[in-house]
Amino acid sequence: MPTRSAFSCSLLTLVAVLGASCFLAAQSDPSDAVAQHMERAAQALRAKDMAGAEREYRQILAFDAQNGEAWTGLGVLLYGEGRSDQAATALENALRIDPGAKNAGIFLGLSEAALNECDKAAPRLASYFAAEPPDKLGRLMGLTLLECQAEASDPIPAVQTAERLQQLYPNDEDVLYQSAEMYTKYWNQTAAELMAKHPDSYRVHELAGEVYEAKNDYDQAIREYSLALERKPDLPQMHYRIGQMYLHHDSEDVDEKAMKEFLAEKSVNPDSAVTDLAMAGIEMHRHNLDKARPLYEEAVKLDPDLTEAQVGLARLQLENHDPASSEKLLLAVVARHPDDAEAHYVLMLAYRGQKKMAEAAEQMSIFSRLQTERTESFQNKLNALLNGKPAAAGEYQK
């Protein structure tokens, strides 16, 4: 499985910590020779001398083949070095001696997953992951469990694990990546089943339209959405999407074509705030301020959290030479949505319109910062995709 390579940077640290704890737990053995090997092994682990630590582990087991802590430490070390088959054997020995040895059970599950034995690994890891605190080992265990469960026919356990991982490790790039991989797999499987069983249904055309839209192939997207509407004329969002596609065209009549689709959308979906917003934008483009205002107001009424509609109203007030009303509206918007760059920009214009130059400069500074952060975030994500490197440096810290 690919899991191991993604976490190799922290495995040696895990090995050292867990291996050392195993040795300390075993210090009660009365044999001086065993105690000496334990101490030397602990020193080797701290120095990240894995070969030396393995040698000491095996010396301990030569003295005492029933030393469960030594079998566990050896198994953890072998797993960390990618020798999962040998690790599994050592960890199985540890569990035969002490069936309740937690670390042995966890790393046996990890080793089984690395050996593509997910039928054994998944139930074992699931039992430990449910109770494991949010630390590095818990993260490794959860991600490995997710990879195993994603290969099973039942998607529910994998979805539940992905949700728990995102709760425990929010914004972690590996968690988000593997979750996306899992959902993409299920999307592909479900889409294939839909097309196989209902090849000419409106849903197939809707799905095809979404694919073409994502590729910016707007003509094909319009064609597929139109076919979906032929089969189900009251399908919501289709006319709205077609209208948006027309707005991407470079022709003189795009506003008319788009407005026709938006009006059709409102006839089947009267509660669509985004459709009112889109029509208001067209009216603003036509300089029909009296027609744009009720559309913005209706969008805000239908969806009070649609900040674009409130900012549109503020722009309209500026066009009507009323910067004070625009300022009042925008102050409420940025109070609720402090990271809305457009709201800060239009607020800057409202301040300028009132000759409040210090306040305008402050808003321009905020706008520039938000724009820079957005650009840097996009660039980091792009670099991660192009270079195969994480967008953010560093690993998860407890």
For residue range 133-172, what is the model confidence (pLDDT) as tens digits? 888 889 999 999 999 999 888 899 999 999 999 999 988 9
Residues 169-194 have a mean pLDDT of: 91
| pLDDT per position as a tens digit, 59-83 | 889 888 999 989 999 999 999 889 9
Rounded Cα–Cα distance for residues 201 and 232 (Å): 9
Q: Which residues contact 330 (CB under 8 A, 6 or more apart)?
A: 310, 311, 314, 343, 346, 347, 350
Tokens 């599994």 belong to residue:
88
Q: Across all residues in the chain, what is the average pLDDT?
A: 87
Percent of all residues in the chain with a pLDDT value above 70, rounded to a whole number = 86
pLDDT band at 384 (very low <50, low <70, confident <90, very high): low
19 part of a folded domain: yes
173 part of a folded domain: yes
Residues 90-99 have a mean pLDDT of: 95
70 part of a folded domain: yes
Q: How many CB atoms lie within 10 A of CB 180?
A: 11
Helix (H) or strand (E) holding 229: helix 218-231
pLDDT band at 11 (very low <50, low <70, confident <90, very high): low
Rounded Cα–Cα distance for residues 285 and 262 (Å): 15
pLDDT band at 383 (very low <50, low <70, confident <90, very high): low
Query: Which of 26-35, 132-141, 165-174, 216-225 bottoms out in mean pLDDT, i.e. has the lowest?
Result: 26-35
pLDDT band at 102 (very low <50, low <70, confident <90, very high): very high
pLDDT at residue 131, rounded to an integer = 85
Rounded Cα–Cα distance for residues 378 and 359 (Å): 29
pLDDT at residue 379, rounded to an integer = 59
CB burial readout 127-149, b (16+ within 10 A) else e: ebbeebeeebbbbbbbbbbbbbb
Query: Which of 144-153, 273-282, 320-329, 344-353 bottoms out in mean pLDDT, i.e. has the lowest?
Result: 144-153
CB 333 within 8 A of CB 344: no
pLDDT at residue 222, rounded to an integer = 96
Decide if pLDDT at 193 tops 70.
Answer: yes
pTM: 0.66
Helix (H) and strand (E) counts in the chain: 21, 0
323 part of a folded domain: no
Decide if pLDDT at 43 tops 60.
Answer: yes
215 part of a folded domain: no
209 part of a folded domain: no
Closest CA to 316 of 345, 344, 294: 294
pLDDT at residue 373, rounded to an integer = 86
Query: Which of 28-32, 160-164, 314-318 bottoms out in mean pLDDT, i.e. has the lowest?
Result: 28-32
**CA 37 vs CA 33, 93, 104, 278, 297: distances in Å:** 6, 20, 20, 74, 78
pLDDT band at 31 (very low <50, low <70, confident <90, very high): low
Q: Which residues contact 207 (CB under 8 A, 6 or more apart)?
A: 191, 194, 195
Residues 352-358 have a mean pLDDT of: 97
Identify the domain containing residue 27 by its residue range: 3-192
| pLDDT per position as a tens digit, 364-377 | 999 999 998 887 76
pLDDT band at 292 (very low <50, low <70, confident <90, very high): very high
pLDDT at residue 317, rounded to an integer = 96
Domain total in the chain: 1
Helices (H), ranges, 151-201: 156-168, 173-197
Q: Which residues contact 300 (CB under 8 A, 6 or more apart)?
A: 273, 306, 309, 310, 313
304 part of a folded domain: no
Biggest CA–CA distance in the chain, Å, is 93
Percent of all residues in the chain with a pLDDT value above 90, rounded to a whole number = 69
pLDDT at residue 377, rounded to an integer = 63
- CATH of residue 136: 1.25.40.10
44 part of a folded domain: yes
Cβ burial of 65 (10 Å; 0-12, 13-18, 19+) is exposed
Q: Which residues contact 76 (CB under 8 A, 6 or more apart)?
A: 14, 15, 18, 19, 22, 87, 91, 103, 107
Name which residue leads in pLDDT, 383 or 135.
135
pLDDT at residue 390, rounded to an integer = 46
Q: How many CB atoms lie within 10 A of CB 230?
A: 11
Query: Which of 13-27, 222-236, 258-272 bottoms out in mean pLDDT, i.e. has the lowest?
Result: 13-27
**CA 330 vs CA 288, 351, 368, 393: distances in Å:** 22, 11, 17, 36
**CA 250 vs CA 192, 253, 256: distances in Å:** 34, 9, 13
Rounded Cα–Cα distance for residues 88 and 265 (Å): 60
Residues 233-256 have a mean pLDDT of: 93
- Our measurement of the distance from residue 208's CA atom to the centroid of its chain's CA atoms, rounded to an integer in Å, reads 24
Tokens standing for 212?
Answer: 């073409």
pLDDT band at 115 (very low <50, low <70, confident <90, very high): very high
